Amino acid sequence: DAKTTQPTSMDCAEGRAANLPCNHSTISGNEYVYWYRQIHSQGPQYIIHGLKNNETNEMASLIITEDRKSSTLILPHATLRDTAVYYCIVRARSNDYKLSFGAGTTVTVRA
Partner 1 sequence: GAVVSQHPSWVICKSGTSVKIECRSLDFQATTMFWYRQFPKQSLMLMATSNEGSKATYEQGVEKDKFLINHASLTLSTLTVTSAHPEDSSFYICSARGAQETQYFGPGTRLLVL
Q: Which positions lie near partner 1, rule CB under 8 A?
A: 34, 36, 38, 41-46, 49, 87, 93, 96-104
Cβ atoms within 10 Å, residue 17: 12
Are the CB atoms for 50 and 61 separated by under 8 Å?
Answer: no
Give Cα separations from 104 to 15, 23, 30, 53, 95 (angstroms): 22, 12, 22, 23, 25
Return d(Cα 108, Cα 86) in angstroms, integer: 11
Least distance (Å) between residue 43 CB and partner 1: 4
Q: Toward partner 1, which CB reaches closer, 47 or 75?
A: 47
- Which is nearer to partner 1, 17 or 99 (by Cβ)? 99
**Residue 44 Cβ vs partner 1, minimum distance, rounded to whole Å:** 5
CB of 13 vs partner 1, minimal distance in Å: 26
